[in-house]
Amino acid sequence: MRKRPLNSNHPIPRRRFLKTSTSAFLASAGFPLILDATDKAGSRRARVGSGEYVYECYHDWGMKSLPAGHHYGGASHGVAFDANGLLYVTHHGSPDSIFVFDPKGKFVKSLAPHQRTIEKEPGGTLGRGHGIDIRKEGDQEFIYLAPNHASLYFSKITLDGELVWHRDRNAIKTDCELFGNPKLRFRPTNTSFRPDGGYYLGDGYGSHYLFEYDMHDKFVRAIGGRGTDKGQFQTPHGQWLDDRDGTPKLVVADRANKRLQWFDMNGTHLRTQTGFLFPADIDTQGDLMLIPDLHARVTLLDKNNNVIVHLGDDEAWRAQVLSNNFALRKQRPKWRPGRFVHPHDACFDQQGNIFVAEWVVSGRLTKLVRV
């Protein structure tokens, strides 16, 4: 987790920030529980990476501590740390839409019941947690959430789950004339922060715009829109503040265009970088940039944005993952230790370990420990 020397009036960006029921849920779905996988010889855990960047894989981290009635359901989605090292994981399960774990993987609490929809299933509701980020504002930390559902809304809550504000399609419509077009969809995916206290709301599955707000929650501008030209997006799924070179920039995971795009703090396009498969989100720590790629790998870039390593990269395995309309995401018995299925979000902890949340049925969180 990085700390920036801002004055107290400006928020400090942060992102480093199974019990019986879970086993029963997996078993009822036909999935055997895979915990703490080792290699074929059983001598050590599976590893990914090469050179100086080799990591041991702790698959299904924290899952065995989930209490009765708690499960990830259709997918685990987003990950973020608070200043005390608690990990917040968004999901499409039950109850609520966020699970919180301590640094050892012990379940702490469930949050965000407002990000749920009514469903025809036991319990009657389903969490719709998707994008999550956390930052300190003054002497308090806040969670910014995006639910990836058209009937819900961006929200800001305390670490205890108290709702501070919410912003749905109609609220953004009052700020931005774009939503005067009834054909423009709304389906949020993520949020990110500016160094001046402002923030971006990403409508990645909907309008393909990012909506910028200042530190006083006043609308500033819309960035992007659907397209393939520079400055346009096809599914701006995640975004992040990239200040590794000392100059803050907005970097966007332009997923369906298979690229990253950088913008200055005024929204002007700076550069585009290709070579990705389906980049889903972004995190940074020191000189490193971390990109979870929905097509079965996780990428590390150096300070010059050169690829250091593709973690878990395997073309034959990726072909299996992408075949039959992503059927493998529902087939837990076929998942392999040391291979990713659909990395959806990833972040560093304070020690430089990597946590990867995957878009898979029953959910999977993997802790990557550098060796």
Amino acid at the residue 60: D
- What CATH number is given to the structural domain containing 178? 2.120.10.30
* 355 belongs to a structural domain: no
* 81 belongs to a structural domain: yes
Task: Print the domain residue range for 84.
Answer: 12-25+69-308
8 Å CB contact between 238 and 210: no
Residue 340 has what pLDDT?
98
Confidence of residue 42 (pLDDT cuts 50, 70, 90): low
What is 159-214 written as a DSSP string? TT--EEEEE-HHHHHHH-GGGGSTTS-----EEEE-TTS-EEEE-TTTT-EEEEE-
* 187 belongs to a structural domain: yes
Confidence of residue 118 (pLDDT cuts 50, 70, 90): confident
How large is the average pLDDT for residues 303-311?
A: 98
Number of domains in the chain: 1
* 203 belongs to a structural domain: yes
Range with the lowest mean pLDDT among 47-56, 114-123, 162-171? Answer: 114-123
- Is residue 95 reached through a cis peptide bond, with omega within 30 degrees of 0 on the bond before it? yes
8 Å CB contact between 259 and 280: no
Look at residue 17 and tell me whether its pLDDT is greater than 60.
Answer: no
pLDDT in tens, 204-244: 999 999 999 999 999 999 999 999 999 999 999 999 999 99
Q: Residue 259: name the closest of 302, 284, 229, 287 by CA.
A: 229
How large is the average pLDDT for residues 118-145?
A: 89
pLDDT in tens, 55-108: 999 999 999 999 999 999 999 999 999 999 999 999 999 999 999 999 999 999
Mean pLDDT, the chain, rounded, equals 90
Look at residue 328 and tell me whether its pLDDT is greater than 60.
Answer: yes
Residue 24 has what pLDDT?
46
Residue 34 has what pLDDT?
35
Which positions ≥6 away from 57 have C-beta within 8 Å?
37, 45, 46, 47, 48, 337, 338, 366, 367, 368
* 337 belongs to a structural domain: no
pLDDT in tens, 243-274: 999 999 999 999 999 999 999 999 999 999 99
Which positions ≥6 away from 213 have C-beta within 8 Å?
198, 199, 200, 201, 219, 220
Look at residue 193 and tell me whether its pLDDT is greater than 90.
Answer: yes
Look at residue 25 and tell me whether its pLDDT is greater than 60.
Answer: no
* 6 belongs to a structural domain: no
Q: Is 102 exposed, middle or buried (0-12, 13-18, 19+ CB in 10 A)?
A: middle
Residue 43 has what pLDDT?
53
Confidence of residue 125 (pLDDT cuts 50, 70, 90): confident
Alpha-carbon distance 362 to 216, whole Å?
39
Confidence of residue 44 (pLDDT cuts 50, 70, 90): confident
Residue 123 has what pLDDT?
63
Alpha-carbon distance 269 to 223, whole Å?
10
* 52 belongs to a structural domain: no
Q: Would strands 283-285 and 269-273 be described as parallel, antiparallel, or unpaired?
A: unpaired
Alpha-carbon distance 368 to 348, whole Å?
9
* 339 belongs to a structural domain: no
- Residue 118, helix vs strand vs coil: strand
Residue 121 has what pLDDT?
62
Residue 10 has what pLDDT?
47
